[in-house]
Amino acid sequence: MTSSAAPRHFIDLWHLESAELREILDMAHAMKKARAGWPKGRVDTGAPLEGHTLAMIFEKSSTRTRFSFDMAMRQLGGSSITATSNDMQLGRGETVEDTARVLSRFVDAVMIRANDHSDVEAFAENASVPVINGLTDRSHPCQIMADLQTLEEHGLTLNGARLAWVGDGNNVCASFIHAAAKFGFSLAVGTPARFAPDDEDIEIARDLQGRIDLFETAEEAVAGADVVIADTFVSMGDADAERRLEILEPYAVTEDLMDLASPGAKFLHCLPAHRGEEVDAEVIDGPQSLVFDEAENRLHAQKAVLRWDDQADYLARTQLYPAPDADLDIEMQDLWLETLQQ
């Protein structure tokens, strides 16, 4: 993660070339398959980030981001240090710029889950180590990489696919908008006008030749979609929770809404979910739902991001992970069973 070259940050998907994102996704698939059957605490072959430390800064509380990044570093052979809003405040007492310069002297990379996207951008501009956006008010790129990995695992070819987002055109929606052009899928967004995606994100996607279709009803957006995606209607700290629920109620994902999608369409939700609000239990707990595979893949996608941040010769060093195949999987599982029986 540390070198004389300028650090490679992972802030927004639209900043990266399509080939780079494809490399990250391919690496995520390979690393996950290479450790099939292993205990979760076992270090990956070659311990590629041995001796490296990731600083994790959380201005917002977290479950999946915190656990997945911490375990990612453990599996890669490295370590992590966590600071919450109780420990520090970006820009309070010390400027964001100075904090970035100081932490760059202590650790090899920084992951930030921040309230203000501009703080992460300022941090990256002043850091001499890679900076990863763990979620901001504007975007959530790590989540989308995990989501796309999940869809490919379940047989979806992203190029030419039709994805539908319904509900609030929030930060997760923004990152899906950024990803559309990079991976070649079209995105239908169904939101009330009050909660439509930011015009700037739509402009970014269309400048990149991405196909983004905006609708004011969930039914129009979901019609014929290969994937239906939702997120919570009310986030922690929203002062207008009751009003938001009232406006967004028609955008809840029900079995009837899923019936309008393509046969066999999948359902995604980044969690935490509120059954009976943005999605019915019959959908999120039903056979079309991939939400727990999606949650697990935060670990694998973020390991790939950490590896990508670590070197410019990214693909050349993927040989640390043998190309997965059925024979290799069987061999690894047999070895693990033999170990358990000893």
Q: For residue 239, what are its two tokens?
A: 């002062």
Sheet containing 131-135: give its strands across: 79-84, 53-58, 109-113, 131-135
Q: How far apart are CA 325 and CA 37, in angstroms?
A: 14
Q: Computed from CA positions of residues 128, 133, 138, 144, in that sequence, does the dihedral angle turn out positive or negative?
A: positive
Residue 177 contacts by C-beta under 8 Å, 6 or more apart in sequence? 187, 189, 197, 201, 202, 204, 205, 210, 212
Q: How far is the C-alpha of 150 from the C-alpha of 155, rounded, in Å?
A: 9
Burial of 199 (0-12, 13-18, 19+ CB in 10 A): exposed
Give CA angle at 149 (146, 155), nearest 5°.
145
CA distance linking residue 103 with residue 55, whole number of Å: 8
- CA atoms of 326 and 324, how far apart (whole Å): 7
- The catalytically annotated residue of 113, 117, 138, 244 is 113
Q: Tell me the C-alpha distance between 56 and 53, whole Å.
A: 10
Catalytic residue among 147, 201, 226, 231: 231
Q: From start to end of the chain, where are the E strands?
A: 53-58, 79-84, 109-113, 131-135, 162-166, 186-190, 212-215, 227-230, 266-269
Q: Which amino acid is at 136?
A: T
Catalytic residue list contains 140: yes
Task: Determine which one of 9, 35, 298, 300 is catalytic.
Answer: 298
Active-site residue, 231 included: yes
Catalytic residue among 35, 119, 226, 270: 270
Residues 23, 183, 44, CA angle at the centre, nearest 5°?
A: 30
Strand 186-190 relative to strand 53-58, pairing:
unpaired
Q: Of 35, 52, 64, 140, which is the active-site residue? A: 140
Residues with a catalytic annotation lie at 113, 140, 143, 231, 270, 298
